[in-house]
Structure 1
C-alpha cells in the first residue's frame, strides 16, 4: 500500500461516523479472535488426533493387561476380541512360548515384518532397546520410516512416532506386561493419518461457522452502536430544535444509569441554565429599558415645556431645569449601577482584598450618616473586633446600600442600628431599622434586579431596584452571604456574614477579579 493510499485510508477511518467505528471495532475484534481460534484449531488438529489415538492405544493395552492377569491363554482370535477400536493394531510376543500373536487378518503388517527381520525370535520384538534403535532403524530407513519422536511414558512403557518421506505417521506404544505365566511384549499402534475428506469437511464447516459468526458480529455491532448512540442522536435532534425563542426542549432521561444517561442529564442541566440565563437577560433588558424610558420621557416632556412656554416664564423654566437635573442624576445613578453589574457578570470587576476591620468600616458609615443629619437615631454596637480579608471600598458600599434602604423606609426619629460581632468561624455586620418591613411574599425576590416591594405603595420613594442585587454580588465576591429578617410594619435587619481572616496573609494587597 502506497503512502498516499495509507494516508487516505487512515483519513477515512478518522472521519468515519462513530456508529461505523464502533461496528468496525466490535466486528474486527470478534473476527480477529475467531480467525485466531480457527487457525490454532487447524494447526493443532494433529495434536488433538494424537491425544485421541494415545488414549485409544492406552485403553487397548489396559484391556490386554487385564486379560492376561486373569491367567487366560492368548491367541489371535482372543486378541482381536479384546480390541474396542478396529483401527488399532496390536502385536504381542510371549517370551515363554516364543510365539507371536497378531490382531490383523491376512498378510502381516509392515511393522511386524520389519521387526522379524531385525529381531530374532529368541530375543523378542523389543527384547533389547539398543537393537531397536540400531538394527530396527536401519530396516525402517530402507522403507523410508524413521523414528521422529520417542517418549518414555511410564515404567516399561515407551511411545514412538514413526514417519516416512510421504509424511505418513504411525503412533506406537510398547510395554512389557509381567504375569505368572511369563512376560509379554505388547506393542499397540495406529496410523496417524488425517483423512483428506475429513480435513476438507472440517475446514469447510469451520469456514462456514466463521463466515456466519463474522456476519452476526457485524449485525450485532451495528445494533449495539445504534443503541449506544441513541441518546447522542436524541441530544443532536434536541439541539436542532432548540432556539433562543424556544429553550423548553428536553431529552427523556429514562433508561439505565450509565454514562449516556449522565450525558443526557448534563445536557438537560445545561439547557436549564441557558433558559434561566436568557430569561434573566430578557427580564434585565426589559426592566432596564423601562427604568431608562421614564427619566428620558420626563426630560423630553420638560424640554418641550421649555420650548413652548418656559422661555418667557422664569418659574416654568426653573421647574423644568430642576426636574431635568433630578432625572439626569437618577439616570446617571442607574447607568452606574448597570455598568457595575455588567462588569460583575463579565468577571471584569477588580476586587482588591486586604485585611480590613469591619468595626472601622461600619464606624465610618455611622459618622457619615450623622454628618448628613438624616433625622434618624443612629446606634452603633461593637460586641467584638472582627477582621476579614476583603475590599474595604466594596464592603463600605455594601453597608451603604443597606443604610440607604433603612433611610428610605423609616420615618424621622426612627432607629437605625449597626452591629458588629463574630463567632469562631465568621464575622457579622448588620444594619437594622424599625421601618415599614417586608412581607414574606417578597423576601425571596428582593435580591432580583429591578425588583421593588409594592411599587404602588412606595411611589414617593426613589430607587432603581438594583441596590440589593449589587449588595448580593459584593457578598458573593467575598465568599459571604446576606441574611434577612423582616416583619411587616416592624422593621428589617440585613446581616452580612463573612469568614474571619484567620492567620495573617502576606502583607500588601491581594487582587482578584470577579
Structure 2
C-alpha cells in the first residue's frame, strides 16, 4: 500500500472520529442563535402573559376601590348605585348576604357563584395578586375576587368577576406562534451556521486542496490571497511564504546535490583513468607508475577536502555544527595565522600591517578556519609576485579586519554571489589563470561569520585586487 493511500485512510479515520470544524461552527452558531431566540420568545410570552392578567387585575382593583368608596359615602344596593359606573366595563359585581343569597348584581348572565367557586383553580396566576383567583368553566375563564364588608349593620360579600377568555385565547395563539417561530428559527440558525461556516472556511479548504496538490516536483502552486484583510489572509500569505522558502530550500538542495555530484565526478573519473593506465602499463613503466600514483593521491586529497567541506555545510544546515565559544584575544590569533601563512607562501608578499588588540567571544578553531579561507583565496587568485595584506583596527566596540590582495579581482555582477555554494567567478578566466576550486570555501566562511555576528563586506575591481572587510563585535568590559 502506497504512503499516499495510507495518508488518505488515516485522514478519513480522523475525520470520522472527530467532528469537522465546519460542523462545530454550525452547531455553535445554531446554539447561540437558538438561545437568543428562546430567551427572546420566553421574555415576549412572559410579557404578554403578565400584561393580560395584570390588566384584568388592575380593572378589578379600580372597581373595588370605587365600590368601597361609594359604600362609604352611604350608597345603598339599589338601582341608583350604578349611576356613576362604580365598576369598569367588563367587570361584574355580585353582592351576597350572610346566607350566600345574591341580593344585588349588575349582570345576571354570568355563571352562578357556586359554579365559579367549584371551578376555581387552587393556585393564583404567576406574579398576580394572591387574593385573585381564576375559574375555568367550559370555554370561560373568569378572574374573580371576594371582599367582605359591613353595610347598614349587615355583613355582605362583594364578588368582583371579569372574563379573560379572549385574552387567554390570544395568549394561547401567541404561545403556539412563538413555539413555531422557535422551531423555524432553529432551522434557520442551522442553515445560516452552515452557510457561514462554508463561507468562512472556504479559504482554508482552498489552502488544504492546494497543499494536497503540491509535490516536490511541482512546488510552483500558490494560493490566491483573498481581498479581505483578515486572519485568513495572514494565514494564506504565511502559507505562500512558507512554500516560497520550501521551494528555495529544495532548489538549493537539488543544486547542491547536482554541483556536489559534478565536483565529485571529475576526481573519480581521473582516478579511474589512472587506475586503468596503471593496470595496463604501470608494472612495466616506472614513470607511468609514479605519475599515476601521484595523480591518484592528488585527486584523492582534493576529494577528501571537498567531502569535508560538504560534511561541514551539511552539519551547519542541520544545526549540528558545534561551536565552542570563549574569550579570545583576536590579535594573538591573527598574528599566529599570518606567521604560518608567511611560512607556506613563497610566491607572494604577505604582510600584517596593523594588529590592534581586542577580546572577542568566539570559537578559536572556527575563527582560524575563516581567516585561512580568506587568505587562501587571496593567494589562489593573486598572480605570483602579488601582495597580500591584513589589517586589524579597533573602532569603538568593533574590530575592523581587512584582507586585501592585488589579485585578478571580481566583477561587480559576481560580487553578491561569491558567498553562494559552488559559485565560482568566470570559470574560463580562472582556469586560464591556473586557478581551480570547489566554490565552497567562502560559503563556509560566511556561515562562520554569521554564527559570530560578524558583518562581511567586499570591495573589488577587475585587475585591481579584492578587499574583504570584517566587522567583529568585541566583548563588553
Q: TM-score range by the shorter chain?
A: 0.7 to 0.9
User: 1:471 matched to which residue of 2?
Assistant: 445
Q: Deviations over 1:268-287 (max 9, x none)?
A: 11111110011000000000
- Alpha carbons of 1:252 and 1:148: their partners in 2 closer, same or farther (altered >3 Å)? closer
1:451 is paired with a residue whose SS is coil
CA contact (8 A) 2:124 2:134 kept: no
CA contact (8 A) 1:13 1:21 kept: no
Give me the whole-angstrom Cα distance separating, in 2, the residues matched to 1:339 and 1:428: 30
1:496 is paired with a residue whose SS is strand
Give me the whole-angstrom Cα distance separating, in 1, the residues matched to 2:454 and 2:375: 19
User: 2:93 matched to which residue of 1?
Assistant: 111
Alignment partner for residue 162 of structure 1, among 132, 139, 143?
Answer: 132
Provide structure 1 residue ranges, at least 5 long, that are not aligned to the other structure. Answer: 1-10, 62-87, 119-139, 152-158, 173-187, 504-514
Q: Deviations over 1:483-514 (max 9, x none)?
A: 111122111111222322114xxxxxxxxxxx
- Whether 2:276 is the aligned partner of 1:304: answer yes
- Whether 2:248 is the aligned partner of 1:276: answer yes
Shift of 1:169: 3.2
- Alpha carbons of 1:170 and 1:491: their partners in 2 closer, same or farther (altered >3 Å)? farther
- Alpha carbons of 1:95 and 1:494: their partners in 2 closer, same or farther (altered >3 Å)? same
User: 1:405 matched to which residue of 2?
Assistant: 377
- Alpha carbons of 1:392 and 1:89: their partners in 2 closer, same or farther (altered >3 Å)? same
Alignment partner for residue 23 of structure 1, among 18, 23, 26?
Answer: 26
- Whether 2:17 is the aligned partner of 1:35: answer no
- Whether 2:50 is the aligned partner of 1:47: answer yes
- Alpha carbons of 1:116 and 1:385: their partners in 2 closer, same or farther (altered >3 Å)? farther
Deviates more, 1:282-291 or 1:258-267: 258-267
- Whether 2:266 is the aligned partner of 1:294: answer yes
Matches within 5 A, 1:51-200: 51-52=54-55, 91=67, 93=70, 98=75, 100-101=81-82, 103=85, 111=93, 113=95, 162-163=132-133, 168-170=142-144, 195-200=167-172
CA contact (8 A) 2:60 2:91 kept: no
Give me the whole-angstrom Cα distance separating, in 1, the residues matched to 2:413 and 2:383: 23
Give me the whole-angstrom Cα distance separating, in 2, the residues matched to 1:332 and 1:361: 26
TM-score by length of 2: 0.78
- Alpha carbons of 1:266 and 1:142: their partners in 2 closer, same or farther (altered >3 Å)? closer
Shift of 1:193: 5.7
Give me the whole-angstrom Cα distance separating, in 1, the residues matched to 2:135 and 2:186: 39
- Alpha carbons of 1:308 and 1:35: their partners in 2 closer, same or farther (altered >3 Å)? same
Give me the whole-angstrom Cα distance separating, in 1, the residues matched to 2:331 and 2:278: 50
Alignment partner for residue 221 of structure 2, among 245, 249, 252?
Answer: 249
Shift of 1:32: 2.6
- Alpha carbons of 1:194 and 1:473: their partners in 2 closer, same or farther (altered >3 Å)? farther
Deviates more, 1:466-475 or 1:160-169: 160-169
Q: Deviations over 1:418-448 (max 9, x none)?
A: 1212333333222111211111111111111
Shift of 1:215: 1.4
Deviates more, 1:222-231 or 1:12-21: 12-21
Q: Deviations over 1:111-137 (max 9, x none)?
A: 35259999xxxxxxxxxxxxxxxxxxx
Matches within 5 A, 1:374-393: 374-382=346-354, 384-393=356-365
Shift of 1:39: 3.1
Shift of 1:192: 5.4
User: 1:430 matched to which residue of 2?
Assistant: 402
Q: Number of residues paired by the alignment?
A: 422
Deviates more, 1:367-376 or 1:392-401: 367-376
1:244 is paired with a residue whose SS is coil
Shift of 1:399: 0.4
- Alpha carbons of 1:355 and 1:143: their partners in 2 closer, same or farther (altered >3 Å)? closer
Shift of 1:221: 0.3
- Alpha carbons of 1:37 and 1:301: their partners in 2 closer, same or farther (altered >3 Å)? same
Give me the whole-angstrom Cα distance separating, in 2, the residues matched to 1:270 and 1:12: 26
TM-score by length of 1: 0.73
User: 1:348 matched to which residue of 2?
Assistant: 320
